[in-house]
Structure 1
């Protein structure tokens, strides 16, 4: 029975590079969808706000806030750093490393001092999530087949030629697309979430190249795919308190040691009220970001023009909606959020690549919310406010680098938000096949055909 189940899962999930048509109509449709897969714009902020990075499509854009200038990426492999949509970007905990990866099956590791690519890793499948260990010695990435891979980076010398590193399997979910990877604040655990509603907490071993065999806990409670993870750091919990968001329109809080659900905050109804829409499935949580300066959690929700702020009561370990910060007068629906340890700012980006019917291959827009300063005795009494473009650190130069210089109509950004919503549903909501179609897919699998 187990073999038959694995067979069915492989048919649903396995991503072949040379797909054939199931039949002329269905095959053409699936091929067109593959080439038109919309990728959301992503943003990541250096831990101490030295720089900000935005990825949209295959384009990786970085701005140096310390030197107030755009960054020129140095990749000695030649050509573009990536040649397909980037699906994951992340700074390391100490800010010395940055990793980018995506649909071109390449994982690039960058030094944030020189912004030179110091290592390139080839993945067997398209990459869906990335993470850097807290000590900066290992890069982990997940693929769409449900495997988490690890690469060691000891003794990397910037003066040497970039390394071509080989990844080894660290752990795996049961043939399910992994949507998010995070290391716990103390670095003892790596947490992975998938589209089958599961969150797995794994002990990160002393010798990761030998595999991670100890599962600390499994967090079960979401009723739809889990889309994003983040940690709240507290003095009483060095491993941190985990928060997650998903397709069930909830943000949930977890104790990762026991895997127990601490609290659930339903954000869907509030988001629908604020977005003034009655569309179905419009309240998926697309990203969450904890604010290091306080106990607030920023939540990006499909169709919500702005962000929702949740307050976390650490003593009772509960979540509650504090307020919604709206983007007035613009079609700005955030696709990704980022913050830093210092600065009291929340960075947001909206946009997408491969947008059908648009003259622009990729577009993005950046906004910043202030009002999260550490110095405030009570963060919840602050009034977060959206900065005008001239008040954003880096000003016009930063926006020109991260957004691009092309002027885009407001309606295009709203179309991008709808396209991202559709793409996420197509990717993360499982297709249901009839018995007849399932048998047909079995017979026409590429890897089952004889080789001549």
Structure 2
């Protein structure tokens, strides 16, 4: 194959798109949605849209946002993405108190439990840290620079989480690895002590979260993957406690249920791999909600903390519309699970507001028979005003969201599935790479 042919093959790649993201204030004071470069926030206390204020040299984001996160107190909010900017916002005024530049595109963010450090990971596999010590309330942090904290070897980091006790920072990547690192007294000096690795996934690790337990102050780690499994880990030992195979559950346990509710193809497409795209701990504290490729709704798992096991609970389908969640967020204090679907851009679609937001209410009773309820638009906190702010006012048909789901699936697989190149193709890519640093 000649260079011209290989170049032509590269140019015919699918357009890279980014999923819509959602994040919820821990006390449900506000909800944020990111679609492409657009960051939308709704104040639930004031029942009004939020106007973001950014006086930095590079206002707002200029490319797709790939990660958003509130801190544990809800006083800080972080957004980052493909424009290589990490923006830190004060949620009291929604003023951008700092814009940090990164050398590569940012793929994940996390905030320490005490709110003093913001960590972010890039697509080259490096985790950076920024100190927020000594900031003045609602004042811009002067000349904040990030310091390298730890690194995976040339692998896209997909998720970052601090353990509930703050002892560890856990990072996952597309090379099937989960690394548990001890957080040092001063993270700016680097984190050099690896506690353990959690190994067992056979495809990229897409998402992480912790389940709290009095017997495990560091928490039990939950991981989702492109290998159609969800796994439960003890991070101090790196030991695998249990595995739940999502693909087999789709094919066997829920086939009858889905046929009864919709049809064999309406609930789940025939796909040999049902990648877990996002997960989060549910408001009842013992369940885990999953977003799965091609599933029009969410899947719920039960976590038995005493037995340290995962088991299938139920599927909550969104009937009457195409809503395959791309991101999940939870408000533990209010008993709501939020979901969003959408992507940054879609060929042939002119509008940028390609998003849908829905919420699921969990009963206060923690009984296994208590059913979560999908809320109607008028039952969601903020109602129609919230939906117009987070979704946009444009009416979008189900066929558009279905096309968006397929485009996103293709793009994310291209990003996260490791590519195999021939020697000739590898040499051509080396000669034509465009990320070399310029020599001064």
TM-score, normalised to structure 1, is 0.90
Alignment-derived partner of residue 196 in structure 1 = 175
Write the deviation string for residues 112-142 of structure 1: whole angstroms up to 9, x where unpaired. Answer: 1111000110000000000000011100000
Of 341, 358, 365, the match for 2:332: 341
Alignment-derived partner of residue 147 in structure 1 = 126
Alignment-derived partner of residue 13 in structure 1 = none
In 2, the alpha carbon distance for the partners of 1:128 and 1:180 equals: 8
Alignment-derived partner of residue 357 in structure 1 = 348
The answer on whether the counterparts of 1:334 and 1:349 sit within 8 Å (CA) in structure 2 is yes
* CA separation of 1:62 and 1:78: change in aligned 2, threshold 3 A: farther
SS at match of 1:411: helix
Report the alpha carbon displacement of residue 271 of structure 1 after superposing the two structures with TM. Answer: 3.5
* CA separation of 1:157 and 1:317: change in aligned 2, threshold 3 A: same
1:84-233 to 2 correspondences below 5 Å? 84-233=63-212
Alignment-derived partner of residue 385 in structure 1 = 373
SS at match of 2:384: helix
In 1, the alpha carbon distance for the partners of 2:300 and 2:79 equals: 28
Of 355, 362, 367, the match for 1:371: 362
In 2, the alpha carbon distance for the partners of 1:58 and 1:432 equals: 31
The answer on whether the counterparts of 1:196 and 1:224 sit within 8 Å (CA) in structure 2 is yes
Of 423, 428, 431, the match for 1:435: 423
**Unpaired stretches in structure 2, ≥5 consecutive residues:** 259-266
1:25-44 to 2 correspondences below 5 Å? 25-27=5-7, 30=10, 33=13, 36-44=15-23
Report the alpha carbon displacement of residue 29 of structure 1 after superposing the two structures with TM. Answer: 5.2
The answer on whether the counterparts of 1:117 and 1:162 sit within 8 Å (CA) in structure 2 is no
Range that drifts further, 192-201 or 349-358: 349-358
Range that drifts further, 48-57 or 156-165: 156-165
Alignment-derived partner of residue 264 in structure 2 = none
Structure 1 position 57 matched with structure 2 position 48? no
Alignment-derived partner of residue 316 in structure 2 = 325
Report the alpha carbon displacement of residue 26 of structure 1 after superposing the two structures with TM. Answer: 3.8
Report the alpha carbon displacement of residue 407 of structure 1 after superposing the two structures with TM. Answer: 0.8
RMSD (Å) for aligned C-alpha atoms: 1.9
In 1, the alpha carbon distance for the partners of 2:297 and 2:139 equals: 44
Write the deviation string for residues 391-416 of structure 1: whole angstroms up to 9, x where unpaired. Answer: 00000110010000111111111111
Report the alpha carbon displacement of residue 61 of structure 1 after superposing the two structures with TM. Answer: 0.5
In 1, the alpha carbon distance for the partners of 2:345 and 2:318 equals: 25
Report the alpha carbon displacement of residue 263 of structure 1 after superposing the two structures with TM. Answer: 0.2
**Unpaired stretches in structure 1, ≥5 consecutive residues:** 1-21
In 2, the alpha carbon distance for the partners of 1:52 and 1:396 equals: 14
In 1, the alpha carbon distance for the partners of 2:435 and 2:69 equals: 34
Q: How many residues are aligned here? A: 426
Alignment-derived partner of residue 244 in structure 2 = 265
SS at match of 2:404: helix
Range that drifts further, 403-412 or 352-361: 352-361
Structure 1 position 404 matched with structure 2 position 392? yes
